[in-house]
Structure formats: structure tokens, C-alpha cells
Amino acid sequence: MVSSTQVDPLTIRDIDFTVARQIEQCPKTMMLRELTMNALEAAGKAPDGSRKVIFKAKRLAETGDADKLAIWNTGPGMSSEDLDHICDLAASLGKEIALEGNFGMGAKVASLPSNNLGMRYRSCRDGVVSQVVLGKREGVYGKLLVQFDDGTRASVVGVTEQVEAEAEYALDQDWTEVVLLGQRKDQDTVRDPYDGDPEQDRQWIATGLYHRFYHVPEGVEVAFEEATHKLDGNRPFEPIPLRLPRFGQSETVEIDGGYKIHYHYDPAYKTTGHNASISGSVTTSVSTAAIVYRGEMYDVRTGRKWAADAPAFGIPFGARHISVHVELPDTFPVRHEAYRRFIQLAQGDQRQLVVEDFAGLVFEHRPDWLAEIINSLAPQSYGSTDDLRKELQDLLNELRVKSHGPRLAPEGINLVEHGGARGAAPTSGSPNAETKVEKSAEPTDLIFNQTGAKKANITKNAERAPDIIILRTEEEAEEKNIGGKAARYVSETNTLFVNLTYPAVADAQEHLELRYATYEDPEIMREQVRLAAERLIMGRVGFAVVFAQLP
């Protein structure tokens, strides 16, 4: 403790309550991340060629036939003194104790709420194995005491002979293992780590790692033994960058500021509903959008959530096959939230950083090949929207609605200059710098009018009419998150999705069919009525978008 002659340090009166509060406030689903990160960091310190992290299902004599999840790594082992030390909160070995450091508190805090029965730590150092069990008894978290024959008790014990008898691990190398005992002796912590709250599917471990760890330390091998994943046998874990050969196409675009945007296309696998990367994999093939910071993924979007958000990133179609990952430089001004669920800005209002903050960058830097794939995945609609777009553009010109251009939002993260037109570039140089002025044209240079020329209908910097995309099925509407709604306008990409399953379309069509029921050719009448009803609804929402942009 740092001493001071000017401060009477604050102390903790009820230490048991304070410890319990800190532990039980941590989201239990962070357990896998914290335990895995500790194992990865430890294994990364092992000699080259022996850096391993292995997930196992094992049974202990004390808990009978129930499978218990074990995580084993080949990092530097701990002596009994070291093991005793790291069991205290905010204690670690060889790590910087700082708010941004992974300093050893997280694994204990995140794991104990789901393992009141116990978490067994064993560590081998120089051929000697020490053991401690953390748990909760009579409302108090701590190291469980072992009673010896001579009446003494201890929380850290030597188990070298027992490990030799079990013959599972060698003693000629260092290692550390943690086993999750759960809440009950008969609880299977491999398949049910949280005792049903929340429930997990069989591949929760693989999916959890796949959607969190974008990179692993160099040379570290991560593996799942049988029964810890959905397939048979032992399988390696590969983060997304190592699995790209299984994808259809990928590209990383590096842009100013140290950002990297990773675009991945994972085509459909044969005639199934899965993507191609599912073949032979223990991990999910669901496409994602996420922020990547210092090797970890944050704000991961998957499934219907990603499909609904994707249009803002310039991906109106095909989100189920397309992943976008925005990797930030290590120097980006953010910090981790206390329990590392998300990252937040280090300055200003310190709000949570979300992947939408980078939607404009993703859209702007889409590779040409990806744009072609997106277009190819668009549904084949019948009926053109060109005439409506022209009508909307004429209205925008008439109303002189100007393009907003890039502009700094109060909650934004990137500094840009406000330009008068879409894509305007920021100004450069000092405000006092000397500027070269071009000679103005003489008035006589402009007095020339070619015979037959007409007055041009041009409005400077006019806003562009939105791209209109028709959705004709309920599935398409649900995917874009507009089920039960007439339309959705995505301002980031100036795209208007129109839901033609909206009840007003059918109502308008029914009304018109009754009105023209006596027409001599019913088939032609019904087709024209359908087009008119659709055009009516598209027009209404299109005009609503235009008028909403008036200052």
C-alpha cells in the first residue's frame, strides 16, 4: 500500500460483502472469455513448439459420472506460494496491474457465480504439482480448506503423487489446469456450464471462442478434445483469419488511420442452408459483423440482427454470406468496460463503441468483387422503379434539397470537414497559408450560345434520389427488419426498402380490381392493377422520404 502523510486511506469494513458483490455483478457468460484468455497468455510464454491450450471433458472421483469442463495449458507453472497468491482478487503473476491490463481478476470473478461447488486449479512447476479449489460455502467465497489426518487444515495442497497415479499429465514440463465443478456434483459443465441459466447448445465453447478471439498468440495451438464439441475425435480451433481458405473470397482493405476492414464472402454450401465454411468445422458458419480490437471481437452481429443492420453498410442483400470486421489500431482511443463485454471511448461521453460507427467506412471501401456479388444476390423483381426514381429526383431538384455530404456528428468518432457535396474532401493546410488564386474568366468568354441549346435543369449539389429495392416476400421483409411496416429508409447508403407484402398494397389492389372488374381482359386488368397498386405505395413512401429531407 502506498503511504501518505496527507491522506487517511479508505478501507473495506465488510470484506466478505464487497468480494461477493464484485463477483456476483460480473456477467456469468464472460466466464469462457476470461478462462481462455488466461490460458492463451500463459501458453504464449511456453517454449516454441510446446504452446498448447486444450479443452477437455473429464470425470473426477469426487463428482462421479458427470463430465466436468477442464482447460489445460502448457504455460509456466506455479508453485504453491504462487497458486495461493493468484487466488486473491486483483492478484496476478507477471502481468501489469492496470485498468487496461488482463491482470488476473477476471477469470475468478466471472467463473465463481456458476461454480459455487468449486473451481479446481492444479499447476505443475519443476515436477511438483500444487492444487487449490475456489468455491462458495455458507455465503462466503474463498479457497476451500482441506482437513488432514493430524487435524491441521490448508487451502493449497500438494498432489504430485496423485497426478502421477492418474498418469494423465507428465511432470517433466510445466502446465496449469482449471476444472469447472459447477453448482452440483451431477451437473455436466461441458454441456451445461450455467446450470440451465442461460441454456447453451452443444457447440457453445467453439462458438464462444470463434466470436471472441480473432487472433491467438503466435505459435499457440488450441484444441478441443472429444465431447467438448459437436463432431467426433479431437479437433483444432482456428480463428476466422486462419479459416479464410474455406471461404469463397476475402480481402483486407487498409485505410488511413491504421484501420483494417476485412471483407469475407462465404457462399452457400451445396443445397443446404449453411455456408461453405461449415464443412468439417467445429465452429459455426454464420456470417458476422464486428469490431476487432487487440485481437478480440466486440459488438458481434449475427443472424437476423446482422441481416437487418447490413444495408447501412452497403450490403442490402447477401448478409447471410458476407462478413465484415473492422479492426482498429492498438492506439485507438478506447478502453474496456469493467467486465470486458464491450469497448468504450476513452474521452468525451465515453459511450460504447458499436460497429455502426464504421458503416460509412465499410460502404466507402467495398471491393468491386463484393459489390458484384451483392448485386447477383438481389432478388429478381419484376417491374422497374426507374420512372419513380426519376420523378423523385425531379422533385428533389425542384425543392433544391442539397446533399448533406460528410459532416461531423456530435457523437461521432472521426473528424471530417463539412463539404457541400457528397464525397467532398477535407481542406488541408493552415488557415493563414498563402493560396494560389486562379484568374477569373472574362465575361466575354461566357457569352456564347450554340444554336438550339436549351436551358439546363441543374440544381447544384442536389440530393440523389434513393435506390428503391422491392421486397416481395415476408421472408425478405423480416430479414430487413420491416415485417409489418411499409418501408425502411437507410440514410447511410441512401437506400429505400419497400415492403410489398404490406396490407395497404393488397387493399389498393382489391379496390382497383373491383373498380375495373368489367374490363374485357381480366388477366391484363389484374396485372395492370397490381402494378398500379405497387406504384401507389412505392410513390407514397418515396415522396415521404423526399419531404422528410426538407430543412
**Per-residue confidence (pLDDT) for residue 116, from 0 to 100:** 96
Classified as helix, coil or strand, 401 is coil
Pair 212, 257 in one domain: no
**Per-residue confidence (pLDDT) for residue 212, from 0 to 100:** 97
Classified as helix, coil or strand, 311 is helix
Contact 129, 157 (CB under 8 A): no
pLDDT at 406 over 90: no
Pair 39, 157 in one domain: yes
pLDDT at 385 over 80: yes
pLDDT at 424 over 60: no
Pair 297, 404 in one domain: no
Tell whether 7 is covered by a domain. Answer: no
Pair 68, 211 in one domain: yes
Range of the domain at 89: 16-236
Pair 264, 401 in one domain: no
Tell whether 450 is covered by a domain. Answer: no
Tell whether 447 is covered by a domain. Answer: no
Residues in the chain: 551
Q: Which of 355, 376, 397 marks a domain boundary?
A: 376
Tell whether 9 is covered by a domain. Answer: no
Pairing relationship of beta strands 140-143 and 156-158 according to DSSP bridges = unpaired
pLDDT at 102 over 70: no
First to last CA, the chain: 60
Pair 38, 146 in one domain: yes
Nine-digit cell at 547? 419531404
**Phi, psi angles (nearest 5°) of residue 448:** -155, 125
pLDDT at 429 over 90: no
Block residue for cell numbers 468480494: 19
Pair 323, 398 in one domain: no
Q: How far apart are CA 122 and CA 103, in angstroms?
A: 19
Pair 57, 96 in one domain: yes
pLDDT digits (tens, 9 = 90+) for 128-149: 999 999 999 998 899 999 999 8
Q: Which of 236, 270, 303 marks a domain boundary?
A: 236
Tell whether 413 is covered by a domain. Answer: no
pLDDT digits (tens, 9 = 90+) for 40-82: 999 999 999 999 999 999 999 999 999 999 999 999 999 999 9
Pair 250, 173 in one domain: no
**Phi, psi angles (nearest 5°) of residue 39:** -65, -40
Tell whether 435 is covered by a domain. Answer: no
Q: How far apart are CA 492 and CA 315, in angstroms?
A: 11
pLDDT at 442 over 60: no
Tell whether 426 is covered by a domain. Answer: no
Pair 276, 398 in one domain: no
CATH code where residue 145 lies: 3.30.565.10
**For the chain, how many structural domains are there in total?**
3
CB-based burial, 384-423: b 16+ in 10 Å, e otherwise: ebeebbeebbeebeebebbbebbeeeeeeeeeeeebeeee
Please state the rounded mean pLDDT for residues 76-99.
Answer: 74
**Per-residue confidence (pLDDT) for residue 404, from 0 to 100:** 60
Block residue for cell numbers 498432489: 159
pLDDT digits (tens, 9 = 90+) for 305-335: 998 899 999 999 899 999 999 999 999 999 9
CA distances from 545 to 173, 487, 489, 538, 550 (A): 68, 10, 7, 11, 9
pTM for this prediction? 0.79
Pair 333, 285 in one domain: yes
Pair 45, 179 in one domain: yes
Tell whether 86 is covered by a domain. Answer: yes
**Per-residue confidence (pLDDT) for residue 170, from 0 to 100:** 95
pLDDT digits (tens, 9 = 90+) for 253-283: 999 989 999 999 999 988 887 999 998 889 9
